[in-house]
Structure 1
Amino acid sequence: MRNTYIVDSGVQKGTSITFLLTEKPTTEQVKPAGQLITDSDAHSFVYLLDEQDGYGYVQFPKNVWGLLTELLRIEEDPSLEFGDQTFVLHQFREELEMLLYNIEGNENYGADFTKEVETIFQDFYENA
């Protein structure tokens, strides 16, 4: 069974961003998988976690996309505070950039999702 966790919020301190989850992981063995995908139906970016019995999903809904735009400016991977664990989400920034390039003008992700991404990440597209 795949576990799904939704990022509630995040904080920026200088050049570091930490995203927060209020729920605890359902397994003790959780580590970043280094891959970011999308869930266009849920209008979110999804970071994969390696869990004991497969993959877990960490959803980054639209309400935290403002911090994702900051992440692109500071050029550093974010951290995730997850129960009593905190770890760096390796390759997050690189994966986000690749997805943004793929999403631009590509309605295979859904017209609404594509438009939302292009609007919120407009500065990224203009400076790319």
Structure 2
Amino acid sequence: MMQQFYPQIHHHYRYELNKDMHLAAAHFISDDAAGQCQHTHGHTYFINITVVGDALDELGFLINFKRIKDIVHKRYDHSVLNDHPEYKEVYPTTERVAEQIWTAIQTELKQLPHQPKCLQVVVRETPTSYVVYRPKPEEL
């Protein structure tokens, strides 16, 4: 797996969990302005998710690492991103993929009684290009 450092976000929570994963997916941006990206092509996306909180669950987790992977990897790995319902009205750019991953993780976290929060999602599309998504405080 990757040995990568990502931009850190300052916070005052006791615990910070980071989950790295990668997945293979294809997408296209069907607009002439997208250049070569208008054609279907694939990436090996590298993803880092940061979850924080002050309290742990009854097992001692903010959230189980496997649950985070299940939310993201099972949904997107070996798929065409454009086929997912969240991208029917918008193109699956790296920025929007990062935002949708945050939405899926935060939706799960809101259901937990100890209320951990997803502070950051990093999606690396190529070795030289990545996006950081950070929600506004009122979205947490």
The TM-score, its normalising length taken from structure 1, stands at 0.25
Which structure has greater strand proportion?
A: 1
The TM-score, its normalising length taken from structure 2, stands at 0.24
